[in-house]
Amino acid sequence: DKPFVLIAGPCQLESRAHALEMSHALVEITRKLGLGLIYKSSFDKANRTSVSTARGLGLEKSLPILAEVRETHGIPVLTDIHSPEQCAMVAEAVDILQIPAFLCRQTDLLLAAGATGRAINVKKGQFLAPWDMKNVAAKIASTGNENILLCERGASFGYNTLVSDMRSLPIMAETGYPVVFDATHSVQQPGGLGGSSGGQREFVPVLARAAVAIGVAAVFMETHQDPDKAPSDGPNMVPLSMMPEVLGDLVEFDRLAKGRPVGRTMAAR
């Protein structure tokens, strides 16, 4: 019913200046389009393919920057957490804690995140069926926190490839929690470049459009002013300069979809 919210930012928090610059640009873009914005960046890439690649600024340096982004623009901020211990501290600086896909079954992490009372965006594991996300959500909800988002980001499909099963969007929506489509990681080719993951940037607008047409509460889309020089996920980030056009399309499809919920035309499952 309401327009989708954009969860966007560069994959990795690179510096204070970069974060302020990127968030400023995204605020401008989404304001013109009438979209809500949640700024996303990671302080630590905790599960990279290779041990020798950059992991990011780290928790201590990053939280004040995320807090500054939040305060400067008056927008909610999201970051991913990797251990139960991080949850409380991160929850002070950001509005939404994100559970990485590989960690979506780690009970302690889900409970610690839930206990902060912050909104929790859980990525569906590449190894998980969409109907099994209700068990994941129930772990968080057991803390009394029902502020949960469920995020599709691709399922394992042979080796080094993911496939986006669009059925997962209505299946996860049956839980009653808002559903997010991560258009960036759905086109990742995990480990596909040997020492790092490949990606298929050109399919981001394709899959995002499909998801928005079906109907989602939010679209997750990483972006960078120069993706090919980004320290991580470059192959699947959308260049910042293309965001207005990519998002402009999605806004139109979203408006249409919100007026015509897909479940309306057929008997429920």
Q: By CB under 8 A, what part of segment 9-38 binds a second copy? A: none
| Contact assessment for residue 10 and residue 56, using Cβ atoms and an 8 Å cutoff | no
Site for a second copy in 119-138 (CB under 8 A): 125-132, 135, 138
| Contact assessment for residue 114 and residue 97, using Cβ atoms and an 8 Å cutoff | no
**CB hemisphere CA count around 18 (13 angstroms):** 20
DSSP one-letter code for 53: S
Interaction between residue 1 and a second copy (CB under 8 A): no
| Contact assessment for residue 45 and residue 56, using Cβ atoms and an 8 Å cutoff | yes
Q: Which is nearer to a second copy, 37 or 243 (CB)?
A: 243
Interaction between residue 265 and a second copy (CB under 8 A): yes
DSSP one-letter code for 117: -
Interaction between residue 142 and a second copy (CB under 8 A): yes
| DSSP E strand boundaries for 35-95 | 36-40, 77-80
Min CB(124)–a second copy separation in Å:
11
Site for a second copy in 200-229 (CB under 8 A): 200-207, 209-214
Among 169, 179, 218, 237, binds a second copy (CB under 8 A): 169
Longest CA–CA span in the chain (Å) reads 52
Site string for a second copy, 56-95 (x = CB under 8 A): --------------------------xxxx----------
Among 166, 198, 225, 258, binds a second copy (CB under 8 A): 166
